[in-house]
Amino acid sequence: MTRNLSNTDRILRTGLGVVLVAFAIPAGVASISGVVLYVLGAVMLGTAALGFCPLYTALGISTCPSPNRTRRGHMGASQSS
């Protein structure tokens, strides 16, 4: 999975996800609006955690500034020049 979200995009998605879940709590899971808010909040939080948005891939969008768009901190073999 290729990362296609910048850190700013991930922070905004995290904030939006938290707000959506916070609005869903008083609405409750018994209401349609509550379920929709929970689902949208979960999608925002999930894409922020993964750094990957399938819709961005389908539309050919990437907000990730790195040229190789890989995750940092990979524990693979070191690359030396």
CB atoms within 10 A of CB 73: 4
Q: What local confidence, expressed as pLDDT, does residue 72 receive? A: 55
The single-letter code of the amino acid at 81 is S
Element housing 41 (H / E): helix 32-50
Q: Using a pLDDT cut of 70, give the percent of the chain over it.
A: 80
Condensed to tens digits (0 to 9), the pLDDT of residues 7-44 reads 999 999 999 999 999 999 999 888 999 999 999 999 99
- What is the average pLDDT score of the chain? 85
For residue 68, name the pLDDT band (cuts at 50, 70, 90). low
Separation of CA 78 from chain center: 28
User: Scanning the structure block, which residue is given the tokens 């850190």?
Assistant: 7
Q: What local confidence, expressed as pLDDT, does residue 81 receive? A: 47
Angstrom distance (rounded) from CA 12 to CA 16: 6
